[in-house]
Amino acid sequence: MQIEPRPLDDPEVQTLIDEVQLEYTRRYGGPDDTVLEPDEFTEPNGLFLLARLGDGPVGIGGWRAHSSASRGLRDGDAEIKRMYVRADARRRGIARRLLDALERTAADAGRRRMVLETGIEQPEAIAMYATAGYDPMPERYGHYADTEVALYFCKDLPPIRRATEHELPALQDIERAAGQPFADIGMSLVADDEPPTIAELRTYLDAGRCWVSIDEKNYPIGYLVAADVDDGLHIEQVSVHPDAARRGVGRALIDHAAAGARDRGCAALTLTTFRDVPWNAPYYERLGFENVDDTRLTPELGAILADERARNIGRWPRIAMVRALD
Protein backbone atom coordinates (compact mmCIF):
# COMPACT_ATOMS: atom_id res chain seq x y z
CA MET A 1 0.00 0.00 0.00
CA GLN A 2 1.10 3.53 -0.78
CA ILE A 3 -0.25 6.78 0.64
CA GLU A 4 0.33 9.85 -1.49
CA PRO A 5 -0.74 13.50 -1.56
CA ARG A 6 -3.46 14.37 -4.04
CA PRO A 7 -5.42 17.58 -4.71
CA LEU A 8 -8.90 17.69 -3.24
CA ASP A 9 -10.36 17.89 -6.77
CA ASP A 10 -8.40 14.86 -8.03
CA PRO A 11 -10.85 12.49 -9.83
CA GLU A 12 -9.98 9.46 -7.68
CA VAL A 13 -10.29 11.53 -4.52
CA GLN A 14 -13.66 12.87 -5.65
CA THR A 15 -14.90 9.36 -6.36
CA LEU A 16 -14.20 8.34 -2.77
CA ILE A 17 -15.65 11.60 -1.42
CA ASP A 18 -18.86 10.77 -3.28
CA GLU A 19 -18.84 7.36 -1.63
CA VAL A 20 -18.37 8.76 1.86
CA GLN A 21 -21.19 11.23 1.26
CA LEU A 22 -23.44 8.29 0.39
CA GLU A 23 -22.31 6.67 3.66
CA TYR A 24 -23.29 9.82 5.58
CA THR A 25 -26.64 9.86 3.83
CA ARG A 26 -27.27 6.25 4.81
CA ARG A 27 -26.38 6.88 8.46
CA TYR A 28 -27.66 10.42 9.01
CA GLY A 29 -30.22 10.98 6.29
CA GLY A 30 -28.11 13.47 4.35
CA PRO A 31 -24.56 14.35 3.26
CA ASP A 32 -22.03 16.35 5.24
CA ASP A 33 -22.70 19.98 4.32
CA THR A 34 -19.33 21.26 5.57
CA VAL A 35 -17.74 23.33 2.81
CA LEU A 36 -14.27 22.20 1.75
CA GLU A 37 -12.11 24.28 -0.60
CA PRO A 38 -9.18 22.80 -2.57
CA ASP A 39 -6.76 25.51 -1.42
CA GLU A 40 -7.40 24.56 2.22
CA PHE A 41 -5.64 21.25 1.54
CA THR A 42 -2.50 22.69 -0.02
CA GLU A 43 0.83 22.61 1.85
CA PRO A 44 1.81 24.05 4.26
CA ASN A 45 -1.74 24.86 5.34
CA GLY A 46 -3.22 21.45 4.67
CA LEU A 47 -2.88 18.19 2.78
CA PHE A 48 -5.13 15.55 1.27
CA LEU A 49 -3.99 11.93 1.06
CA LEU A 50 -5.05 9.01 -1.11
CA ALA A 51 -4.30 5.41 -0.11
CA ARG A 52 -3.79 2.96 -2.96
CA LEU A 53 -3.65 -0.82 -2.67
CA GLY A 54 -2.28 -2.34 -5.83
CA ASP A 55 -3.74 -0.33 -8.72
CA GLY A 56 -6.86 0.88 -6.96
CA PRO A 57 -7.73 3.68 -4.53
CA VAL A 58 -8.98 2.36 -1.19
CA GLY A 59 -9.04 5.30 1.21
CA ILE A 60 -8.79 9.03 1.68
CA GLY A 61 -8.27 11.60 4.39
CA GLY A 62 -7.12 15.17 4.71
CA TRP A 63 -6.23 17.84 7.24
CA ARG A 64 -6.51 21.60 7.14
CA ALA A 65 -4.90 24.16 9.41
CA HIS A 66 -6.84 26.28 11.88
CA SER A 67 -6.10 29.23 14.12
CA SER A 68 -7.58 30.68 17.27
CA ALA A 69 -9.79 32.84 15.05
CA SER A 70 -11.85 29.71 14.36
CA ARG A 71 -14.56 28.99 16.90
CA GLY A 72 -13.46 26.40 19.45
CA LEU A 73 -10.00 25.89 17.92
CA ARG A 74 -6.42 26.94 18.71
CA ASP A 75 -3.46 28.26 16.81
CA GLY A 76 -1.57 25.21 15.60
CA ASP A 77 -4.59 22.91 15.23
CA ALA A 78 -5.02 20.63 12.22
CA GLU A 79 -8.53 19.40 11.49
CA ILE A 80 -9.11 15.96 9.94
CA LYS A 81 -11.70 15.81 7.18
CA ARG A 82 -13.20 13.07 5.00
CA MET A 83 -11.50 10.05 6.53
CA TYR A 84 -12.88 7.07 4.61
CA VAL A 85 -11.95 3.52 3.61
CA ARG A 86 -13.93 1.53 1.07
CA ALA A 87 -16.06 -1.23 2.55
CA ASP A 88 -14.21 -4.05 0.76
CA ALA A 89 -10.85 -2.80 2.07
CA ARG A 90 -11.75 -2.46 5.74
CA ARG A 91 -10.28 -4.44 8.64
CA ARG A 92 -6.82 -4.37 7.06
CA GLY A 93 -5.38 -1.48 9.07
CA ILE A 94 -5.75 1.00 6.21
CA ALA A 95 -7.70 3.56 8.23
CA ARG A 96 -5.07 3.52 10.97
CA ARG A 97 -2.29 3.89 8.40
CA LEU A 98 -4.11 6.87 6.93
CA LEU A 99 -4.62 8.40 10.34
CA ASP A 100 -0.93 7.95 11.18
CA ALA A 101 0.02 9.61 7.88
CA LEU A 102 -2.28 12.56 8.55
CA GLU A 103 -0.75 13.04 12.00
CA ARG A 104 2.80 12.76 10.66
CA THR A 105 2.30 15.22 7.79
CA ALA A 106 0.51 17.69 10.06
CA ALA A 107 3.39 17.50 12.54
CA ASP A 108 5.83 17.99 9.64
CA ALA A 109 4.05 21.25 8.86
CA GLY A 110 4.38 22.47 12.45
CA ARG A 111 0.86 21.68 13.62
CA ARG A 112 0.67 20.89 17.34
CA ARG A 113 -2.74 19.23 17.77
CA MET A 114 -5.11 17.14 15.64
CA VAL A 115 -8.82 17.77 16.03
CA LEU A 116 -11.76 16.06 14.40
CA GLU A 117 -15.51 15.94 14.23
CA THR A 118 -17.39 12.67 13.89
CA GLY A 119 -20.93 11.53 14.62
CA ILE A 120 -22.83 9.30 16.98
CA GLU A 121 -23.75 6.96 14.11
CA GLN A 122 -20.11 6.07 13.41
CA PRO A 123 -19.12 3.74 16.27
CA GLU A 124 -16.29 2.16 14.26
CA ALA A 125 -14.63 5.54 13.76
CA ILE A 126 -15.12 6.50 17.39
CA ALA A 127 -13.49 3.25 18.53
CA MET A 128 -10.52 3.72 16.18
CA TYR A 129 -9.89 7.27 17.35
CA ALA A 130 -10.02 6.15 20.98
CA THR A 131 -7.45 3.40 20.42
CA ALA A 132 -5.26 5.88 18.53
CA GLY A 133 -5.06 8.15 21.57
CA TYR A 134 -7.75 10.72 20.83
CA ASP A 135 -9.61 12.24 23.77
CA PRO A 136 -13.04 13.91 23.80
CA MET A 137 -12.63 17.67 23.59
CA PRO A 138 -14.96 20.13 25.33
CA GLU A 139 -14.72 22.68 22.53
CA ARG A 140 -17.14 22.44 19.61
CA TYR A 141 -16.63 24.00 16.22
CA GLY A 142 -17.79 23.97 12.63
CA HIS A 143 -21.06 23.50 10.80
CA TYR A 144 -22.50 20.94 13.25
CA ALA A 145 -21.30 22.50 16.53
CA ASP A 146 -24.84 23.17 17.71
CA THR A 147 -26.26 19.75 16.89
CA GLU A 148 -26.62 16.70 19.14
CA VAL A 149 -25.15 14.21 16.65
CA ALA A 150 -21.64 15.68 16.43
CA LEU A 151 -18.78 14.48 18.63
CA TYR A 152 -15.34 16.11 18.90
CA PHE A 153 -11.92 14.60 19.65
CA CYS A 154 -8.33 15.84 19.83
CA LYS A 155 -4.78 14.54 20.18
CA ASP A 156 -1.47 16.32 20.80
CA LEU A 157 1.10 15.70 18.08
CA PRO A 158 4.69 14.58 18.73
CA PRO A 159 7.38 17.29 18.84
CA ILE A 160 8.84 16.48 15.42
CA ARG A 161 8.55 18.62 12.32
CA ARG A 162 10.44 19.66 9.23
CA ALA A 163 13.33 22.02 9.89
CA THR A 164 13.27 25.62 8.71
CA GLU A 165 15.97 27.61 6.94
CA HIS A 166 16.81 29.76 9.94
CA GLU A 167 17.36 26.65 12.11
CA LEU A 168 20.18 25.19 10.02
CA PRO A 169 22.95 26.78 12.14
CA ALA A 170 21.32 25.22 15.22
CA LEU A 171 21.63 21.80 13.56
CA GLN A 172 25.34 22.42 13.13
CA ASP A 173 25.57 23.22 16.84
CA ILE A 174 23.77 19.95 17.67
CA GLU A 175 26.23 18.06 15.48
CA ARG A 176 29.24 19.60 17.19
CA ALA A 177 27.87 18.84 20.65
CA ALA A 178 26.90 15.28 19.68
CA GLY A 179 30.43 14.65 18.42
CA GLN A 180 32.12 15.32 21.75
CA PRO A 181 31.46 11.86 23.30
CA PHE A 182 33.63 10.37 20.52
CA ALA A 183 36.64 12.19 21.99
CA ASP A 184 36.10 10.37 25.27
CA ILE A 185 36.76 7.02 23.56
CA GLY A 186 39.77 8.21 21.59
CA MET A 187 37.98 9.06 18.34
CA SER A 188 39.13 12.67 18.19
CA LEU A 189 39.04 12.67 14.38
CA VAL A 190 35.31 12.12 14.55
CA ALA A 191 34.77 14.56 17.41
CA ASP A 192 36.68 17.28 15.54
CA ASP A 193 35.02 16.63 12.20
CA GLU A 194 33.14 19.64 10.86
CA PRO A 195 29.33 19.38 10.70
CA PRO A 196 27.52 19.51 7.37
CA THR A 197 27.65 22.92 5.75
CA ILE A 198 24.58 25.14 5.52
CA ALA A 199 24.48 24.44 1.79
CA GLU A 200 24.53 20.67 2.40
CA LEU A 201 21.78 20.89 5.01
CA ARG A 202 19.73 23.09 2.69
CA THR A 203 19.84 20.33 0.07
CA TYR A 204 18.05 17.97 2.47
CA LEU A 205 15.69 20.75 3.53
CA ASP A 206 14.69 21.50 -0.06
CA ALA A 207 14.05 17.80 -0.67
CA GLY A 208 11.76 17.55 2.38
CA ARG A 209 14.21 15.18 4.09
CA CYS A 210 15.30 17.24 7.09
CA TRP A 211 13.45 16.82 10.39
CA VAL A 212 13.97 18.24 13.87
CA SER A 213 12.83 17.20 17.30
CA ILE A 214 11.91 20.29 19.31
CA ASP A 215 11.68 21.25 22.98
CA GLU A 216 8.83 23.07 24.70
CA LYS A 217 10.15 26.37 23.31
CA ASN A 218 10.04 25.05 19.72
CA TYR A 219 13.86 24.89 19.60
CA PRO A 220 15.67 21.94 17.93
CA ILE A 221 17.26 19.38 20.25
CA GLY A 222 17.89 16.71 17.61
CA TYR A 223 17.78 16.32 13.84
CA LEU A 224 17.74 13.76 11.05
CA VAL A 225 18.61 14.19 7.38
CA ALA A 226 18.03 11.52 4.76
CA ALA A 227 18.13 10.89 1.01
CA ASP A 228 16.59 8.41 -1.40
CA VAL A 229 19.14 5.67 -2.05
CA ASP A 230 18.47 2.61 -4.23
CA ASP A 231 14.84 1.64 -3.39
CA GLY A 232 14.93 2.93 0.18
CA LEU A 233 15.46 5.95 2.38
CA HIS A 234 19.02 6.38 3.62
CA ILE A 235 19.66 8.16 6.92
CA GLU A 236 22.65 10.39 6.26
CA GLN A 237 22.81 11.71 9.80
CA VAL A 238 20.80 11.54 13.01
CA SER A 239 22.13 13.48 15.99
CA VAL A 240 20.77 14.48 19.39
CA HIS A 241 22.17 17.15 21.66
CA PRO A 242 23.75 15.49 24.74
CA ASP A 243 21.47 17.55 27.01
CA ALA A 244 18.51 15.68 25.48
CA ALA A 245 20.10 12.22 25.43
CA ARG A 246 18.33 9.11 26.72
CA ARG A 247 14.86 10.52 26.10
CA GLY A 248 14.04 8.52 22.96
CA VAL A 249 14.63 11.51 20.67
CA GLY A 250 16.75 9.60 18.14
CA ARG A 251 14.35 6.65 18.09
CA ALA A 252 11.39 8.98 17.51
CA LEU A 253 13.13 10.77 14.63
CA ILE A 254 14.02 7.46 12.97
CA ASP A 255 10.50 6.07 13.38
CA HIS A 256 9.06 9.30 11.95
CA ALA A 257 11.26 9.11 8.87
CA ALA A 258 10.53 5.38 8.50
CA ALA A 259 6.77 5.93 8.51
CA GLY A 260 6.98 8.50 5.74
CA ALA A 261 9.26 6.27 3.67
CA ARG A 262 6.89 3.32 4.07
CA ASP A 263 3.94 5.41 2.93
CA ARG A 264 5.88 6.34 -0.21
CA GLY A 265 6.49 2.68 -0.96
CA CYS A 266 10.15 2.46 0.07
CA ALA A 267 11.32 -1.06 0.84
CA ALA A 268 13.88 -0.25 3.53
CA LEU A 269 15.58 2.27 5.76
CA THR A 270 19.39 2.20 5.57
CA LEU A 271 22.35 3.86 7.26
CA THR A 272 26.10 3.52 7.72
CA THR A 273 27.69 3.65 11.15
CA PHE A 274 30.59 2.60 13.37
CA ARG A 275 30.41 -1.09 14.20
CA ASP A 276 32.04 -0.94 17.63
CA VAL A 277 30.77 2.34 19.11
CA PRO A 278 28.08 1.56 21.72
CA TRP A 279 25.73 4.36 20.63
CA ASN A 280 26.15 3.46 16.96
CA ALA A 281 25.66 -0.10 15.61
CA PRO A 282 24.53 -1.70 18.91
CA TYR A 283 22.00 1.11 19.38
CA TYR A 284 20.62 0.71 15.86
CA GLU A 285 20.33 -3.03 16.37
CA ARG A 286 17.94 -2.31 19.24
CA LEU A 287 15.88 -0.22 16.82
CA GLY A 288 15.47 -3.11 14.38
CA PHE A 289 18.44 -2.55 12.04
CA GLU A 290 20.58 -5.44 10.82
CA ASN A 291 24.14 -5.51 9.53
CA VAL A 292 24.38 -5.76 5.74
CA ASP A 293 27.14 -8.08 4.63
CA ASP A 294 29.37 -6.51 1.97
CA THR A 295 28.27 -9.15 -0.54
CA ARG A 296 24.65 -7.95 -0.20
CA LEU A 297 25.26 -4.22 -0.58
CA THR A 298 23.08 -2.50 -3.16
CA PRO A 299 24.96 -0.31 -5.67
CA GLU A 300 24.36 3.14 -4.19
CA LEU A 301 24.66 1.98 -0.58
CA GLY A 302 27.88 0.18 -1.45
CA ALA A 303 29.30 3.35 -2.99
CA ILE A 304 28.44 5.37 0.14
CA LEU A 305 30.13 2.83 2.41
CA ALA A 306 33.22 2.57 0.18
CA ASP A 307 33.63 6.34 0.22
CA GLU A 308 33.42 6.44 4.03
CA ARG A 309 35.90 3.61 4.44
CA ALA A 310 38.31 5.37 2.11
CA ARG A 311 38.54 8.26 4.57
CA ASN A 312 40.54 5.89 6.82
CA ILE A 313 39.22 6.59 10.33
CA GLY A 314 41.76 4.20 11.81
CA ARG A 315 40.65 1.15 13.76
CA TRP A 316 36.94 1.94 13.85
CA PRO A 317 35.31 0.00 11.02
CA ARG A 318 32.21 1.31 9.23
CA ILE A 319 29.31 -0.96 8.31
CA ALA A 320 25.97 -0.60 6.54
CA MET A 321 22.71 -1.48 8.26
CA VAL A 322 19.16 -1.96 7.02
CA ARG A 323 15.69 -2.00 8.54
CA ALA A 324 12.91 -3.47 6.44
CA LEU A 325 9.74 -1.39 6.00
CA ASP A 326 6.63 -3.57 5.81
The enclosing domain of 197 has a CATH number of: 3.40.630.30
Model pLDDT for residues 156-203, shown as the tens digit of each residue = 999 999 999 999 999 999 999 999 999 888 888 888 889 999 999 999
Q: State residue 189's pLDDT score.
A: 82
| Domain span including residue 55 | 2-156
Q: State residue 310's pLDDT score.
A: 86
Do 253 and 136 lie in a common domain? no
Q: State residue 176's pLDDT score.
A: 95
Cβ-based neighbour number of residue 244 at 10 Å: 18
Cα separation, 22 vs 88, in Å, equals 15
3-state helix, strand, coil in the chain (%, to 5): 35, 30, 35
Do 127 and 260 lie in a common domain? no
Model pLDDT for residues 200-253, shown as the tens digit of each residue = 999 999 999 999 999 999 999 999 999 999 999 999 999 999 999 999 999 999
User: Among the three residues 131, 156, 181, which one is the final residue of a domain in this structure?
Assistant: 156
Q: State residue 198's pLDDT score.
A: 97
Q: If 0-12 CB within 10 Å is exposed, 13-18 middle and 19+ buried, where does residue 5 land?
A: middle
Do 38 and 164 lie in a common domain? no
Do 116 and 224 lie in a common domain? no
- Asked if residue 50 lies in contact with residue 60, where contact means CB atoms within 8 angstroms, the answer is yes
Q: State residue 294's pLDDT score.
A: 92
Do 299 and 217 lie in a common domain? yes
Do 133 and 17 lie in a common domain? yes
Q: State residue 278's pLDDT score.
A: 92
Model pLDDT for residues 251-297, shown as the tens digit of each residue = 999 999 999 999 999 999 999 999 999 999 999 999 999 999 999 99
Do 104 and 190 lie in a common domain? no
User: Among the three residues 112, 140, 156, which one is the final residue of a domain in this structure?
Assistant: 156
pLDDT average, residue stretch 136-153: 93
User: Among the three residues 156, 181, 209, which one is the final residue of a domain in this structure?
Assistant: 156
Between the two ends of the chain, the Cα-to-Cα distance in Å is 10
Do 138 and 189 lie in a common domain? no
What dihedral do alpha carbons 262, 274, 210, 155 form, nearest 10°?
60
User: What is the pTM (predicted TM-score) of this model?
Assistant: 0.93
Q: State residue 314's pLDDT score.
A: 55
Helix (H, G, I), strand (E, B) or coil at 229: strand
Do 187 and 103 lie in a common domain? no
Counting the structural domains of the chain, the total is: 2
Cα separation, 23 vs 7, in Å, equals 22
**pLDDT surpasses 70 at 69:** no
Do 76 and 185 lie in a common domain? no
Do 298 and 224 lie in a common domain? yes
Do 42 and 91 lie in a common domain? yes
